[in-house]
Chain A
Amino acid sequence: MLVKALLVALWAGLCSLDDGGMQLQIRKPLLAGTITGLILGDLTQGLIIGGTLELMWLGVNSVGAYTPPDITGGAIVGVTVGITSGGGVAAGVAFAVPAATLILQLIVLLQTYLSVHIHRAEIDAATGDFNKANRWHLYSGVLLFLARAIPCFIAVYIGNTVLSDFIEWLPEFIINGLNVASGIIPAVGISMLLTMMLKKDMWMYLVAGFVFAAYLGLPVLGVSLIGIVFAGIHDYNYVQRKKLERDTAMELEGGIDL
């Protein structure tokens, strides 16, 4: 178990660095969860729990000042619990959410502290040495690695038996209820997306997407292709409207000249 716990911790740390840097998006529940499943010897469960969490947290992105729950740590802990406790998706989702909230607190603390590194770098700026100023940036990376690696290690290594006992102790209706909840929670993620995207004159595209999928049964890719058509029409109209505005403005100016 120690080896597995260390491997999961290493993976969590890598996902953490990905979140801040490479953005291969291995940090997202789908990929973070799948590889965690692979490490723990149950790829299929990793895929199922990771995929469920991905759909649930689809709209969760740090946009603007909003800091979302830590979906990376949440997915890794969730998949770990789901596999080691034998509780599957329901247990995974049940533990992913509180874990994501807890690890978020750690990340918030870290990101508050890291402004200290900027001030250190500014002091080093006086030497005129770029590498010296930049090393604080790299130190930050080490801390970012640990911020997710340590809690995930604890969850796998120490939490394992405790968590599985807990899952067995849980009454069945709670597990059933959480299963139902995991079907509803994607609504939060989609709504989150909509709060960013939905502008007053664009709601009908949302309706169109819904109708194509719900009434006509088209899959996501099919709806996306229709979306491209709508996007093209929208852009054409926008350009025409601008052109019209320009022409009218010019006519008006001409009128004044006369």
Chain B
Amino acid sequence: MSEKFEMTNKVYREMFINHLTFQWGWNYERQQADGCLFTLTPVLKRLYKDAPLEERERAIKRHLEFFNTHATLAPLLFGLIAALEVNTPEAEKDSITSIKTGLMGPIAGLGDGLFWFTLWPICASIGATMAVTGNIFGAIFTFVVFNVINQGVKWFGFRIGYTKGMDIINSGSGDEVIKRISGAATVLGLCVAGCLVSTTVKLSVPLEFASGDGKIVVQELIDKIMPCFLPVLVTLFCYWRLKKTNGKEAVRLIFGIMIAAIALTYFGILG
């Protein structure tokens, strides 16, 4: 236990830089374990500078245990772990592992909800919609907006996690705060997803039948039921299949759609 450890901007900076390699060694057995050790090394190296060999060995092995959480919110957790490492006596360091393991799940869920299901789909669908018309601003928009937020959260995450981590996550109301944020984020994400069904899924029927003087355009009939009726049906079907197979059928669905689209286009049913 070193009393001399002092958190400085330099340590925060080193953690941030090390964290830029976070999942390079991702593997099926321990997942982000080596990234966890590497990110915490700037703290551990100083903390254990004069410690006996076996304590250093234990510290290295402690942070090579199974670890998996959301990369963008991980700094928050690492800040907290750093605070715990500094304040926990050597004999009780096992408790750090259990706190780490207990928090990595909720943080992963929260991060997935905020960043992968909300922020990225919003940034990317706006950018990609511009990009498909050949507009370079689409790519720039997505890159800048996403990264100002994503890298910013990582940069400040270490600081917030270290200084306030204990009160934010580990206090009585911590669990409640996480639930509230993830609930609100899900609502926002679902609204965007509903919008995406109508703006990104495109299919229409070019069939026409002669009837008396005029002709019946099949797509017009379908549009009378509701706008984007076919995209909704296809999305519901995909959702049903994916939900049933836990997402394992995604690749098969994509190939299935390709084959079905080629066949139906050949016979003029889709186009």
Contact = CB atoms under 8 A, between A and B. Distances in A.
**Do chains A and B interact in one complex?**
yes
Interface of A: 17, 19-26, 28, 30-31, 34, 43-44, 47-48, 50-52, 54-55, 58-61, 63, 66, 68-69, 94, 97, 101, 111-115, 117-118, 121-122, 124-126, 128-130, 133-134, 136-138, 140-141, 144, 173-174, 176-178, 180-181, 183-188, 190-199, 202-203, 205-215, 218-221, 223-224, 226-228, 230-232, 234-235, 238-239, 242
A190 B139 contact: no
A206 B190 contact: yes
A31 B200 contact: no
Contacts of A121: 34, 37, 60, 64
Contact of B180 (A101, A230, A238): A238
19 contacts: A21-B20, A51-B132, A52-B132, A55-B128, A121-B60, A130-B37, A137-B38, A140-B25, A177-B263, A186-B196, A190-B193, A196-B112, A197-B117, A205-B191, A213-B196, A220-B196, A223-B194, A224-B122, A234-B184
Interface in B142-196: 142-143, 146-147, 150-151, 176, 179-180, 183-196
Taking chain B's interface residues, is the majority helix, strand, or loop, or is none over half, making it mixed?
A: helix
Contact of A193 (B193, B202, B260): B193
Given A48-B133, A187-B201, 12 more contacts: A19-B23, A55-B132, A94-B258, A97-B258, A126-B57, A141-B24, A176-B265, A186-B200, A209-B196, A210-B194, A219-B199, A238-B183
A74 to B, nearest CB: 11
B195 A212 contact: yes
A117 to B, nearest CB: 6
Contacts, number: 367
A114 B150 contact: no
Nearest to B270: A180
A47 B136 contact: yes
B253 interface: yes
A195 B243 contact: yes
Nearest to A43: B136
Contact of A48 (B116, B121, B132, B258): B132
Given A122-B64, A125-B57, A180-B271, A213 B195 contact: yes
Given A30-B138, A52-B132, A118 B29 contact: yes
B95 interface: no
B232 interface: yes
Contact of B248 (A58, A66, A136, A191): A66
Given A118-B34, A213-B194, A235-B183, A47 B134 contact: yes
Contacts of B13: none
Contact of A114 (B27, B197, B253): B27
